[in-house]
Amino acid sequence: MKIAGTQVNIGDVEDYVYEYGRDLSTYDPKDITDYGCDDPGGDIRLQVHNGWMIHTGDSQFDQDHRGYWGSEWVPAGCTRAQAREIARDLVGGAADHEAM
């Protein structure tokens, strides 16, 4: 999908999401449970500005706020199917942000 002149490959984003979910599964669940939710996982964001970049963890530490963004939550140990759906949501969110 093309966003702001940048080609974003959903398959590449899916790979990042999947690996992040696998990384999260190596942590103690009580260390990665946020927002009063019982399910361990973490935040992930797609930024599209002069290319694209994945950001993870707490968004308060994002210093570059330019471009278009999509954000989602990744469960620890997410499956490929979950990663694919999350990647589609991230890219869709950035595309929707561009359309505003």
Boundaries of every domain in the chain: 2-99
pLDDT value at position 27? 82
Mean pLDDT taken over the chain: 89
Give the position of tokens 């330019």: 66
CB 86 within 8 A of CB 32: no
* pLDDT tens string 3-40: 999 999 999 999 999 999 999 988 877 776 655 556 78
